[in-house]
């Protein structure tokens, strides 16, 4: 195959995606990153959108094999933030000049429909910020209520497009159910994010190509590709972490295939590589999600071990990120960073 020709094709086949993900020559890989950066510039510009993250509960009713928050992990000290603590933290985020708030937790039905709606509504009274929910699979009627309360976006990863692997990793959950939730969220007007985990046990390069193609089929507004990092006290604790190269290649190919979509440089990538964030931003990413969860909670949101920046003061996060982002000639956005598709449609 001719690398240059593939990099400039408007549409890629699965075979071409597999070819790009399998590149090993350093010069070729750099050409892939450069092309992804070009596409990012064309569709997203030079602005980097910050999304302020509040991990408000580490309780989870699911048992995903790779995740430290899984129900059966009895070694994790659990916490729940009160609605007032969550709203107070949202104020800090808004005061730091960040216009998207991500409310994230394990699947925790302790927070019922009304409590979540109250939190959303209260934050929306403070300022015109976007609210992203990342609460796992909840009821379709709940999604509707939260939309009416003011939620703008929902993040629900598909994790893997391979139905067999999905049912192995998730025990009680099925891929088709997850996809039905994603499609429903889109139908009722959420800006929807999804994505995979790279390097999970048994996953192949073909599976990753299918993940990217599934993101295209779902016509997502945001797509996240984070590396697998083994977590203690989980069945996958002794498995190998994903490689930085494969993660970056996946992000770059996703940018070329998906074009007008938000792609984050994930904290997990920054955890497996000190310069992961910058590398991600140079390989197609245009979003960073700093963690504003206050202590003593943030240390306990242990999806995996040794999360990057976990010991840092969230208040210094923005200035640290600003330095990193400006050092590569990019700038922090001052907008909400809504779906790039909305711009194209209007």
Which residues contact ligand SF4 by CB under 6 A?
A: 60, 62, 64, 67, 69-70, 106-107, 136
Q: Do residues 123 and 152 lie in contact, with contact meaning Cβ atoms separated by under 8 Å? A: no
For the CB of residue 76, give the shortest distance to ligand SF4 in the complex, in Å: 11
Q: How far is the CB of 107 from ligand SF4 (least distance, A)?
A: 5
Between residues 200 and 283, which has the closer beta carbon with respect to ligand SF4? 200
CA distances from 289 to 8, 16, 54, 293, 312 (A): 30, 31, 10, 12, 14
DSSP-derived letter for residue 26 is: H
Name the minimum Å distance from CB 273 to ligand SF4: 22
DSSP, res 71: T
Closest by CA position to 56, among listed 119, 9, 8:
119
Cβ proximity to ligand SF4: between 182 and 325 the closer is 182
Q: Are 337 and 222 in contact (CB under 8 A)?
A: no
* Cβ neighbours of residue 302 closer than 8 Å, sequence gap 6 or more: 58, 68, 69, 76, 231
User: Which CB, 106 or 314, lies closer to ligand SF4?
Assistant: 106
Q: Tokens 């599934």 map to which residue?
A: 214
Smallest distance from the beta carbon of 72 to ligand SF4, in angstroms? 9
Q: Which is nearer to ligand SF4, 47 or 107 (CB)?
A: 107
Nearer to ligand SF4, 46 or 299 (CB): 299
In angstroms, what is the minimal distance from the CB of 272 to ligand SF4? 18
> Residue 119: phi, psi to the nearest 5?
-65, -45
């Amino acid at each position: 195959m001719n690398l240059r020709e593939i990099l400039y094709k408007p549409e890629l086949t699965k075979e071409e995606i597999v070819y790009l993900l399998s590149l090993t020559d350093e010069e070729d890989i750099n050409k892939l990153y450069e092309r992804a950066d070009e596409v990012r510039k064309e569709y997203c510009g030079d602005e980097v959108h910050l999304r302020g993250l509040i991990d408000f509960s580490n309780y989870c009713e699911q048992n995903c094999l790779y995740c430290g928050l899984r129900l059966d992990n009895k070694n994790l000290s659990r916490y729940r933030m009160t609605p007032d603590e969550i709203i107070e933290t949202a104020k800090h985020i808004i005061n730091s000049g960040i216009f998207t708030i991500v409310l994230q937790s394990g699947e925790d039905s302790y927070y019922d429909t009304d409590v979540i709606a109250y939190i959303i509504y209260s934050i929306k009274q403070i300022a015109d910020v976007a609210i992203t929910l990342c609460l796992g699979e909840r009821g379709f009627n709940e999604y509707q209520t939260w939309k009416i309360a003011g939620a703008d976006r929902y993040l629900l990863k598909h994790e893997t497009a391979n139905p067999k692997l999905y049912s192995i990793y998730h025990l009680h959950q099925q891929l088709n159910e997850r996809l039905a939730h994603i499609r429903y969220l889109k139908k009722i007007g959420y800006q929807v994010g999804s994505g995979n985990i790279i390097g999970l046990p048994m996953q192949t390069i073909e599976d990753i190509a299918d993940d990217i193609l599934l993101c295209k089929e779902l016509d997502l507004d945001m797509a996240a590709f984070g590396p697998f990092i083994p977590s203690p006290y989980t069945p996958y604790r002794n498995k190998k972490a994903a490689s930085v190269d494969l993660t970056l290649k996946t992000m770059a190919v996703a940018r070329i295939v998906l074009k007008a979509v938000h792609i984050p440089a994930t904290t997990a990538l920054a955890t497996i590589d000190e310069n992961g964030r910058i590398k991600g931003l140079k390989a197609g990413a245009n979003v960073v999600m700093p963690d504003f969860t206050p202590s003593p909670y943030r240390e306990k949101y242990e999806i995996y071990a040794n999360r990057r920046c976990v010991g840092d003061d969230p208040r210094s996060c923005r200035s640290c990120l600003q330095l990193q982002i400006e050092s590569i000639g990019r700038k922090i956005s001052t907008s909400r960073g809504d779906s790039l598709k909305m711009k194209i449609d209007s």
